[in-house]
Amino acid sequence: MSAACGAPDTDSDAPVTSQRSRPVRALRDLLYAFPPLLARLGLVDRERASRAFDLAVPVMVTGGLRTLLRALDFFMISLALGDAAVAGLEIGFQYWFVGFGLALGVSSGTISVVSRLKGAGEHGKADLALKISLWIALAITIPLTVFTWFGAEGMIGLLTDDGATIRLGGTYLRIVMLSVSFRFWSVVAARALEGSGDTRTPMRVRLWTIPTNAILNAVLIFGLGPVPALGVAGAAWGTVAANVLAGGLFTWVILSGDKEVRLRRGGRQWDADLAGEIVRVGWPLSSTWLIRTFGRFPFLFVLAELGTGVVAAYAIARRVMLLAMMPAWGYSTAASTLVGQSLGGGDEREAESYGWQTLRIGVITQALIGGALVLAAGPIAVLFRTGATEMTVEFIRVFGVAVVGYSIARVMRGALRGAGDTLWPLYGISLFTVARIAVAFLALPSGLVVVRLFGWSLAPGLGLGLAGVWAAILLDVYGRAAVNAFRFRSGEWRRVARDSAVA
C-alpha cells in the first residue's frame, strides 16, 4: 500500500522524474497540490486527504478513460446512424449492466475481504479470496452469455416498439455479451489489486486496452482502409476485443507473483468461509446494481413514450455525467481500501476518520466539476450533433446539479463496503428506485398508461413532461446519498466488521 501523503513516489517501472517532460511534471505537480491546498483552507486533513487522493487518482484515470470511450461510442454512432441507433445502444447497455452489476457485487466482496486480510497480515488468505472470486465470476457469466445470444432482440423489444432500435440494439447486445466473462474477471482482478493498496496496476492495464478499444471502434464503425463499415456491430466487436485483451493482461499480471496479491494456480481452490464473506458483502451490492439497472427499464419506457429523441438526449447526457463522476468512483475505491485496511489493523477510529476525510475531498471535487458541467452544457451537447440538442443541454444541466449527490452516495457506499456493511446502500437504492419510477410516470400524459392490480385501475400520468423526469433523477440521487451518509454516521458498520468472518 502506498504511504504517500502528497504526490506519490515514483514506482519502480516508471521513468525517473528527471526524464519526465516539463509539461507532464507541471501537470502532475498541479494535480497533487489539490489536497494540500484544501488543507491550507481548513477543509480537509492533509495527510488523510492526500492518501485518499493518491489511491483515487489512478481509478479516476482508468474509469474516466473507459467512460470517455463509451461517450465516444455514442458520439460515433450518433454521427454514423442517428438517434435510433443511439437509443438502441442505450437500451443494450442496460442489459450489459446486468452482468456488470453482478461483477461489481463480487468485486466489492473481493476488495472488502482482500483489504481486511491485507490489513491483518493474512496474505495467503487474500490470494485465496481472489481465486474464489474468479470461480464465482465464471459460474455467473457463462449462462448469461448463452441466454443473451439467443434472446437479444426480444430483450430490446421489451422496452421499445421501434423496429430500427430493436434491430440495432439487439445486434450490439448479442455481440458484446460474448466478452462479459473477460470483463467480469477484469473488474474482480482490479478490485483485488486495489484492496491491497495497488491502484496503479489497473490503471496501466486500462491505459493499454482503452485506447485500443477506441481505435478499433472507430475503424469498425466507420470502416477505414480495407475494413468495411460495421456500424453498431463494429462498436460491439471493438469492445469484445478490448475486454479479452484486458482479461488476458490482468491474468498475466496476477500470475506473475510481483504484486501484493496473486492468483496461485495450485493449492486450495475453495474456502467456504471466505466465499461466504465475499457473497455476504457482494450480494447486497449486486442486488443494488441490479435493482438500479432493472429500475432503468421502466424509466426508459417513460422516456421512449416521450419520444426517441428524449431517449437519445438522456443517453448522451448520462454519458457526460458518468465521465464527470469519475472522481467519485476513485474516492469510493479509496474509501473502501482505507477503511478496510484500518479495520483489519484494529483501528476503528482511523477507519472513521478516513471515511469522512475521503467524503470531504470527494464532495469538493465533484462540486467544482458539477458547476463546470452546468456552465458548459451547451457546447458539450452541440458536439454530439443529435437532433435533440436542446433537450440534451437540459439533461446535462440536471446531471450537473446531481453530481454532488452521486459523490456522497458513492463515497459513503465505498466506506461502508470497506467495513463489509453493504445492506443499507441496498435499502436506499431499493426505496429511491421505486420513488424514481413513480415520479417519472407522472411525466406521461394522463391516461396514456393504465396500471391494473387486484381489480384497481390507476393512470399515473399527470402530463408533467420532462420536469417530472428531472425531478425523479434528483430525488433518487440525493435520497440515496442521505441513506448512505446516515448509515456511516451511525457507526453501526463497526459492529458489522467485528462480526464478520474475516481477520
Q: What is the DSSP string of 47-101?
A: HHHHHHHHHHHHHHHHHHHHHHHHHHHHHHHHHHH-HHHHHHHHHHHHHHHHHHH
Does residue 41 belong to any structural domain of this protein?
no
C-alpha cell at 156: 430490446
Other C-beta atoms lying within 10 Å of the C-beta of residue 75: 18
**Domain annotation covers residue 326:** yes
Question: How far is 166 from 327, CA to CA, in rounded Å?
Answer: 34
Provide the pLDDT for residue 447: 59
> What is the residue type of 476?
D
The pLDDT of residue 370 is 92
Does any domain span residue 351?
yes
Domain-embedded: residue 344: yes
Number of domains in the chain: 1
Instruction: Give me the pLDDT at residue 100, please.
Output: 67
pLDDT score recorded for residue 24: 61
Q: Are 141 and 181 in contact (CB under 8 A)?
A: yes
DSSP, collapsed to helix, strand or coil, labels residue 458 as: strand
In this structure, is residue 19 part of a structural domain?
A: no
Structural domain boundaries enclosing 477? 50-499
Q: From first to last of the 503 residues of the chain, give the pLDDT tens digit.
A: 333 344 444 333 344 444 446 666 776 777 788 889 999 999 988 899 988 988 888 878 777 777 777 777 777 877 777 777 777 777 777 777 776 667 666 766 776 677 777 777 667 777 777 777 778 878 888 888 888 888 888 888 877 777 888 888 888 888 988 988 888 888 878 877 877 777 788 878 888 887 888 888 888 888 877 888 888 888 889 889 988 998 889 888 888 767 677 777 766 777 777 777 777 777 776 777 778 777 877 888 888 888 878 888 888 888 888 888 888 988 998 998 899 888 888 889 999 999 999 999 999 999 999 999 999 999 988 887 777 788 899 999 999 999 999 999 999 999 998 888 888 988 998 899 999 998 998 888 875 555 555 555 455 667 788 899 999 999 999 999 999 999 999 999 999 888 875 55
Element (H or E) spanning 158, and its range?
Answer: none
Strand, coil or helix: 193: helix
Q: Residue 36 falls within a domain, yes or no?
A: no
pLDDT at 397: 94
Q: Which of 322, 400, 326 is nearest to 362 (CA)?
A: 326
What burial letters (b/e) apply to 157-174, b meaning 16+ CB within 10 Å? bebbebebbbbbbbbbbb
Q: In the chain, helix, strand, coil percent, each to 5?
A: 80, 0, 20
Q: Is residue 343 part of a domain?
A: yes
User: pTM here?
Assistant: 0.68
| Structural contact between residues 263 and 134, judged by C-beta atoms closer than 8 angstroms | yes
438 in a structural domain = yes
The pLDDT, as a whole number, for residue 412 is 95
| C-alpha 112: how far from chain center | 17
